[in-house]
Amino acid sequence: MYKSVRGIAAGALLAATLTACGSGSGDTGGNAGTSGGEKPKAPLVLAADQVRTALVSKSSAPQGWKGRLPRSVSPTDALRKCQDETETNCGGFVSYGSTYFFKTEQDAEGKQGHLYFSLFSFKSPEDAQVAMKGLTKEARRKAGADAKPLDISAGAEETDAYTGKHTEIALRLGGVLVRLQSADLTANEPYANFAKLQIDRIKKTAEGKNPDA
């Protein structure tokens, strides 16, 4: 009888030990999965009211340049603008806004160079990718063989830039498509700085910050 009790007790102790070891292994694996498997960040998207905030402002214009207040249009006109510029149906389109910088001094021919900024926001990065593909295809078709590649690094996820009769830059960051267009400007302007300025403002706006602060 005593031997049976001792046997049962020993068996219970062994089972408890094995269970404890098993639990320890499971916890270790779970912790490793938590530390090594962080949730992916949500894609960057801008709501309609954030587009106006994200656009470059008058106060953000560098020395030698002046800015204008962002232009607002009706939702119908905004969608039409997106469709016209991207040659797509603009699936997932949310909002559009635009503004521009201009040089404070005229050139030798009496021209005052302008740089136009356009922002198109979409519900997802995929929607913005489709729109960018259409935009760059149409822009390059109009530019023709004279277009030369322009190296731009501004922190965007996609970039397509060239210069010729005018300079054209398309940037995509998450679900936001950016277009920069020059008029009466040379290829030597600091386009990369302007592109980075716009991308940085988009990032700050998406984080809930005021990019003019």
Whole-angstrom distance, CA of residue 153 vs CA of residue 99? 22
Confirm if 100 and 117 have CB atoms less than 8 A apart: yes
- Tens digit of pLDDT for each residue in 24-37? 433 333 334 444 56
pLDDT of residue 141: 82
At 37 the three-state DSSP class reads: coil
129 contact partners, CB below 8 Å, separation of at least 6: 158, 172
pLDDT of residue 37: 63
pLDDT of residue 113: 93
Q: Can you tell me which residue has the tokens 């006109």?
A: 77
- Tens digit of pLDDT for each residue in 79-93? 999 999 999 999 999
Both tokens of residue 156?
Answer: 């965007």
Rounded alpha-carbon distances, angstroms, from residue 200 to 8, 166, 180:
70, 24, 15
* The overall pTM is greater than 0.85: no
- Continuous segment of H or E residues that includes residue 93: strand 93-103
Whole-angstrom distance, CA of residue 129 vs CA of residue 137? 12
pLDDT of residue 4: 43
Residues with pLDDT less than 70, the chain: 1-38
47 contact partners, CB below 8 Å, separation of at least 6: 94, 95, 121
Whole-angstrom distance, CA of residue 139 vs CA of residue 28? 55
Confirm if 112 and 36 have CB atoms less than 8 A apart: no
